[in-house]
């Protein structure tokens, strides 16, 4: 392969073909280079027996590109600093034998207009600690993983429990001097907590490098660099490895919708709009002060898809939560007339972004068939979790923003107005199976004056806690996988403070301590009861008992598993008034036992209205031949299950209940493997 030295003399480098092949370049420009991080960026290599780093960058419109680093005073235009240009590729490359690990560097670029620019490496694997902005040479290879058992057992997620703990790394906990815990230190604190609370996954708000703390990681400058605020790349690998060994999955927030405008980042990278659209009506996101990626450029697609693969390949991430998908899909997202342009057919759909998303998901599932690809999509866009071959977007989960908005609108409503908003509880059932949903009670709902979950609740102090227990119980029993933002589990009273740690001292107070115990018991119940997750995405997994008791603000429904014995009865009283003789219709006669009651004293309730073993009466009700008469505590969730000998003990506490005895387990027939809801398209492996 020939390279052009500083736009002048052509020379041959016998080592270049080993680092960057003609096929690499072809696929990169085709938009199908799924591993472009293998040759772009700074890589430690040995050439002619000499150790050093090879640097390669895409800057097609640059006049010159040099390596500026802390050893040459960040002046990278000397003869020994200039990179060589690979003709007709837009790529610049050079091997530097004097560069070792830990060097701070940028690319010194002369733009087509003669401007002298210093840019961080778009493919850098590490960055300086902010506010410094240089990239850092590092070797991310060589970490010895011990999570093979975890990775082998990962299967389709649809008929499994999935309860995600969403957290902002820097404010979950901080040291006494308000400094951050490192990735390694966090392993000792976070993992025991997640295990104690029975979360199946942790979702980190974006950990890719970002200059501004208060962007929370959603305005990136270093897509391939784990933020150095908390340590090194291998420190993050250690944390994820430890989480996997403990049986906890890891989801990373990922932001392909936009990037930061900071001068050292991707904006006008080589002096021209390279990663962003040239048309400001398409590139500008005025509400966020950021720039949209140009999804029509194959090289940008290679960059983004490689980045998604990179987090799974190098860091063993189990899935990505894709932020702000609606802003990608719609050209008019949060824009006024005159701030956007229409597509070629006169519509507001971003056709390039739609095509990119389909390519992204198809590619990810080719390499990682059981990856979690979760869309934060806030509109009624059809087919978000439908397969690409069926003209869907190809995600396997969508955040159910409609459920979240309706639910929180209802729960913050004063008690006397709730009968008039009863439809906010009933309407979400209509579209519950329209996509594979995850129910988010996320960070976005407890910031910017929206109040914390606890403070949203109406009523006096005790009623607020009872209301939050009811909200969490409703959340856990509604169809869909679960996500709860940190602090909600113990009743953080003040909304999330994005520079300070959670108020863990609240656990010194009885009400918060009991709410924490309630969250733990509720999580355990969720993991234990197949009826709460086995048929999440099937209509037969949910059945109304009564949806229309708006006058008393009571709803009741069944949650079902594959076996009849896994069916649960859920009754929710949303008024601060006890219902002593509340009748519900039941098809199956027999005895039923309360297995969960949010009003127990150990949870902070009164404990006065407990349903011990109850037998059905032959009184028709709610269209069923039998009925049960229950005691409903004020602001409560009551869950019952049909009593079966050896399975449910009337006097058992929630933590003592089991689905099956040992004998039952031996007799159980293993269900047939469920067919995947998506068919993977064949993608050539590059």
Where helices occur in 427-583 by DSSP H, the ranges are 453-456, 461-477, 510-528
**For 532-549, b where at least 16 C-beta lie within 10 A, e where not — what string?**
bbbbbbeeebbeebbbeb
Residue tagged active-site, from 323, 495, 549, 594: 323
Q: Name every residue whose Cβ is closer than 8 Å to that of residue 143 and which is 6 or more positions away in sequence.
A: 234, 237, 238, 241
Show the 3-state SS of 104-141. EEEEEEECCCCCEEEECCCCCCCECCCCCCCEECCCCC
User: 43 vs 142, 226, 530, CA distance in Å?
Assistant: 13, 16, 48
Q: How far apart are CA 168 and CA 331, in angstroms?
A: 30
Q: How far apart are CA 219 and CA 238, in angstroms?
A: 25
How far is CA 38 from its chain centroid? 25
Q: Name every residue whose Cβ is closer than 8 Å to that of residue 128 and which is 6 or more positions away in sequence.
A: 104, 134, 135, 136, 228
User: 443 vs 102, 411, 424, 440, 497, CA distance in Å?
Assistant: 35, 17, 21, 9, 10
CB 520 within 8 A of CB 490: no
Tokens of 456: 């949203």
Q: How far apart are CA 204 and CA 253, in angstroms?
A: 6
Exposed / middle / buried, residue 265 (Cβ in 10 Å: 0-12, 13-18, 19+): buried
Q: How far apart are CA 575 and CA 570, in angstroms?
A: 16
Residue tagged active-site, from 209, 376, 445, 536: 376
Show the 3-state SS of 339-392. CCCCCCCCCCECHHHHHHHHHHHHHHHHHCCCCEEEECCCCCCCCCCCCHHHCC
State phi, psi for 441 to the nearest 5 degrees. Answer: -110, 80
Q: Name every residue whose Cβ is closer than 8 Å to that of residue 501 and which is 6 or more positions away in sequence.
A: 171, 172, 173, 174, 178
Question: Is 376 among the residues known to form the active site?
Answer: yes
Q: How far apart are CA 227 and CA 245, in angstroms?
A: 23
Nearest to 474 by CA among 559, 550, 572, 402: 572
Q: How far apart are CA 141 and CA 125, in angstroms?
A: 11
Tokens of 618: 């032959």
Tokens of 651: 């006097």
Nearest to 154 by CA among 317, 393, 307: 317
Residues with a catalytic annotation lie at: 323, 376
């Amino acid at each position: 392969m020939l390279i052009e030295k500083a736009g002048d003399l052509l020379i041959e480098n016998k080592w270049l073909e080993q680092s960057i092949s003609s096929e690499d370049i072809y696929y990169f420009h085709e938009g199908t280079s799924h591993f472009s991080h293998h040759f772009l960026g700074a890589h430690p290599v040995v050439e002619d027996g000499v150790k050093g780093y090879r640097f390669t960058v895409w800057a097609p419109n640059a006049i010159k590109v040099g390596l500026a680093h802390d050893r040459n005073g960040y002046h990278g235009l000397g003869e020994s600093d200039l990179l060589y240009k690979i003709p007709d590729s837009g790529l610049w490359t050079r091997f530097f034998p004097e560069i070792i690990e830990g060097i701070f560097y940028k690319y010194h670029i002369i733009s087509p207009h003669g401007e002298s620019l210093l840019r961080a490496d778009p493919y850098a694997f590490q960055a300086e600690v902010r506010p410094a902005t240089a990239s850092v040479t590092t070797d991310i290879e060589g970490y010895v993983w011990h999570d093979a058992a975890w990775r082998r057992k990962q299967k389709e997620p649809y008929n499994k429990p999935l309860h995600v703990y969403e957290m902002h790394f820097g404010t979950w906990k901080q040291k006494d001097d308000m400094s951050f815990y490192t990735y390694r230190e966090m392993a000792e604190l976070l993992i025991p907590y997640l295990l104690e609370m029975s979360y199946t996954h942790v979702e980190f708000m974006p950990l890719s490098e970002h200059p501004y703390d208060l962007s929370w990681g959603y305005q990136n400058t270093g897509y391939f660099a784990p933020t150095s605020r908390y340590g090194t790349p291998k420190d993050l690998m250690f944390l994820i490895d430890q989480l996997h060994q403990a049986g906890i999955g890891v989801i990373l927030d990922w932001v392909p919708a936009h990037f930061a405008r900071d001068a050292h980042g991707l904006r006008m990278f080589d002096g021209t709009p390279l990663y962003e659209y040239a048309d400001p009506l398409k590139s500008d996101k005025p509400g966020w002060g950021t720039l949209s990626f140009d999804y029509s450029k194959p090289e940008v697609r290679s960059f983004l898809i490689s980045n998604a693969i990179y987090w799974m390949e190098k860091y063993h991430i189990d899935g990505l939560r894709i932020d702000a998908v609606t802003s990608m899909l719609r050209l008019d997202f949060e824009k006024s007339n005159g701030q956007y342009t229409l597509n070629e057919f006169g519509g507001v759909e971003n056709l390039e972004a739609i095509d990119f998303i389909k390519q992204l998901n198809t590619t990810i599932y080719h390499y990682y068939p059981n990856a979690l690809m979760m869309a934060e999509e806030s509109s009624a866009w059809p087919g978000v979790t439908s397969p690409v071959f069926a003209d869907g977007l190809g995600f396997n989960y969508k955040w159910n923003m409609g459920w979240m908005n309706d639910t929180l609108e209802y729960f913050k409503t004063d008690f006397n107005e709730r009968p008039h908003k009863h439809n906010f509880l009933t309407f979400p059932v209509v579209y519950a199976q329209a996509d594979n949903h995850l129910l988010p009670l996320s960070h976005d709902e407890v910031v910017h004056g929206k109040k914390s979950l606890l403070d949203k609740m109406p009523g006096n102090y005790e009623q607020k806690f009872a209301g939050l227990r009811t909200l969490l119980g409703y959340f856990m029993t509604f169809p869909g996988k679960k996500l709860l933002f940190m602090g909600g589990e113990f009743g953080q009273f003040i909304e999330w403070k994005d520079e300070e740690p959670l108020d863990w001292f609240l656990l010194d107070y009885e009400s918060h301590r009991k709410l924490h115990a309630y969250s733990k018991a509720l999580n355990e119940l969720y993991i234990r009861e197949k009826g709460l997750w086995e048929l999440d995405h099937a209509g037969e997994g949910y059945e109304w008992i009564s949806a229309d008791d708006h006058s008393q603000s009571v709803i009741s429904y069944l949650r079902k598993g594959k076996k009849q014995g896994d069916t649960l009865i859920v009754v929710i009283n949303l008024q601060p008034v006890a219902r002593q003789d509340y009748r519900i219709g039941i098809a199956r006669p027999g005895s039923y036992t309360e297995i969960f009651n949010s009003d127990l004293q150990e949870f902070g309730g009164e404990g006065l209205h407990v349903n011990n073993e109850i037998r059905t009466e032959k009184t028709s009700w709610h269209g069923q031949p039998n009925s049960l008469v229950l005691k409903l505590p004020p602001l409560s969730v009551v869950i019952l299950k049909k009593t079966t000998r050896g399975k449910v003990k009337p006097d058992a506490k929630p933590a003592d209940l089991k689905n099956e005895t040992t004998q039952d387990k031996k007799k159980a027939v293993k269900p047939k493997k469920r067919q995947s809801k998506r068919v993977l398209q064949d993608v050539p492996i590059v």
